Amino acid sequence: MSRDEIRKDILRTFDKLHLTIDKLDIEVTRTSSPKFGDFTSSVALKVSRDIKQSPMEFAKVLAQSLQNQPYIKKLEVKEPGFVNFFIKDEIWQKEVEFVLKTNKGYGSNSLGKGKKARVEFVSANPTGPLHFGNARGGPIGDVLASVLAFCGYKVVREYLHNNVGVQVGKLGESIANVAFGKKLEDQEYKGEYIKDLAKQVVNSKLKTPNSKLNEEETGQNAVAILLDEILKDCEAMGIKFDEVYPEGDFVKCGQTQKVLAELEKKGVLKKKDGALWFAPSDEFLKDRETVVKKSDGTYTYFANDIAYHNLKFAQNPVLAIDILGANHHGHVPRLQAVVKALGYDVSKFHVILYQWVRFKRHGELVAMSKRSGMFVTAREVLDEIGRDALRFFILMHDANSPIDFDLDLAREKSKKNPVYYVQYAHARIASILAIARGPAALHPQPTSSPALDALLSEKSLSAFAKEELTAGARRGVPSRVTPRYRLLNTSYELDLIKQISRLPELVEDIASNFAVHRLTGYAIDLADSFHKFYENCRVVGEKEDLEKARIGLITATKIALANTLLLLGVSAPEKM
């Protein structure tokens, strides 16, 4: 059952009543409790003032117009003007068939077909190992990119490598000083990794104890080594970038100079104190971060960031997304002003800011790293808890919320650990299907549709489900699955189906609101509904028709769970 059907029927009702409303203003959401039905709409509250009718009066008119829709069991109007929709059981029961038919495509849509999206994330500090502050943006960006791709967008995952500036020279200086015997604690960069870099970058260049090193060159060599480590850490988190843009290349190839010349022609660059500032208004001259060219003639990070965003928008994406730490909040209005000044559509530009992470062990806050100096590295956490827990625990939280990351819970193998709880549901279904698959024999498979072939080839399908599919094909209806799903009428079965059916809506919502943390909430809710079903409804060993129906239901559950875990970048184990 799709909320879009309800929206369309509400829109038709408005047309019949000769009322005008934008489809986007027709809000239809899931209810917070079954006692309020399955869906609810507050549209009467939104339009009552325009139509000079009270919300309750118009809600009653709306309900009267919709009550004969074939999917409606009943409608209720509640104060102050909500219309609650109770959907017929048979509509939910048909959802199982739909999931089995769409299989690995369940939850996907074509909203972004033919459109481009570019997502930049991680883009870590180049002068040290990947710390967890930057790493938090990795799963957020990666999952958002996956969701957009699931919606049909052509997505590019981007990493901006800040390999120029004073920081690179200071890194080189710290490495050179340590290489010549100076104390690590006296350096600008104090982490143990400086000693490792000194060995890798410097020792091969030392000729005599009095050798001198080019600090800039040493720093450049070091950030190249660190970038390689950072990208390997990202890969260990399940993240691969399509494009890595070294900031220094924008100057080398003239893109920074070119875009600044363009902005100068537009009159948004101004000179002050011997430097060149991006200042579409005088207000920007109060912010030293808007300097694009220093008085010594060198270009700033902001200048190269302008060149990067010009390159990004020149590809004509519908969505251009930056995922940054909350400490970059002041950079957002500057970037928005740049996008506007360059003549691009600012509504296509989005910035997601994420908050800090703290770590807890035995209920106490902990500091973990010696190698990094002052922060926890992504590699440390990966080595301790693994990729699945790292990604899932990050993605359980809204990006705007700080995280107190419980390392003990992340390692625990019990239902208290949410990622274990979700994965165990998937593995438990696989175990049931393996038992069901054993004694059943498949009929010869006739030629059928590509969709049916794809479904039959899915290893997770039980023999019974396959038998029903092939039987349907022999009856000349290969596009339909025909187990007796009307037998799925207990509250546990219907609740499980309703939880499954939320996935397509969730994917559509995340593609517009970028709230990727809702996927983990969905996965936990779905696992919870399945575990309750499992505890109260026997599958194998029931009467044949009911057994087949329930096997179809848990197969559909497995598909929804697997697709969700795939979007999250978390494994879906067959055994645990």
The least confident of 31-35, 210-214, 367-371, 533-537 is 367-371
pLDDT at 180: 86
**24 pLDDT more than 80:** no
pLDDT at 211: 55
pLDDT at 446: 34
pLDDT at 444: 32
Which residues are CB-contacts of 570 (< 8 A; sequence separation ≥ 6)? 387, 388, 391, 392, 419, 422, 423
Mean pLDDT, rounded, for 166-170: 93
| Higher pLDDT pick, 472 / 64 | 64
pLDDT at 23: 67
Which residues are CB-contacts of 231 (< 8 A; sequence separation ≥ 6)? 159, 241, 244
Chain centroid to Cα 130, Å, comes to: 20
- Residue 448 CA to residue 473 CA, distance in Å, equals 7
Greatest Cα-to-Cα distance within the chain, rounded to the nearest angstrom? 92
The per-residue pLDDT of the chain, averaged, comes to 89
Mean pLDDT, rounded, for 9-22: 88
**pLDDT digits over 203-249, tens only?**
665 444 455 667 888 999 999 999 999 999 999 999 999 999 999 99
**Smallest Cα–Cα separation from 173: which of 152, 155, 198?**
198
**461 pLDDT more than 50:** no
- Residue 550 CA to residue 432 CA, distance in Å, equals 11
**475 pLDDT more than 60:** no
pLDDT at 391: 98
254 and 268 Cβ atoms separated by less than 8 Å: no
Domains of the chain are 3-87 (3.30.1360.70), 93-106+415-568 (1.10.730.10), 116-124+133-162+240-325 (3.40.50.620)
Q: Which helix (H) or strand (E) holds 447?
A: none
- Residue 304 CA to residue 335 CA, distance in Å, equals 12
Percent of the chain's residues with pLDDT above 70: 88
What are the φ/ψ torsions at residue 100 (nearest 5 degrees)?
A: -65, -35
Mean pLDDT, rounded, for 134-141: 96
**405 pLDDT more than 50:** yes
Chain position carrying tokens 């002068």: 127
Mean pLDDT, rounded, for 7-31: 87
Mean pLDDT, rounded, for 270-276: 96
pLDDT at 205: 59
pLDDT at 212: 61
pLDDT at 371: 52
The least confident of 22-26, 447-451, 538-542 is 447-451
Q: In the structure, what pLDDT confidence band is assigned to residue 199 with cuts at 50, 70 and 90?
A: confident
- Residue 47 CA to residue 25 CA, distance in Å, equals 9
Q: Tokens in use for 146? A: 């996956």
Contacts made by residues 389-393, CB under 8 angstroms, sequence distance 24+? 389/417, 389/419, 390/139, 390/237, 391/139, 391/143, 391/237, 391/238, 391/568, 391/569, 391/570, 392/418, 392/419, 392/422, 392/520, 392/568, 392/570, 393/418, 393/419
- Residue 115 CA to residue 313 CA, distance in Å, equals 13
Q: In the structure, what pLDDT confidence band is assigned to residue 1 with cuts at 50, 70 and 90?
A: confident
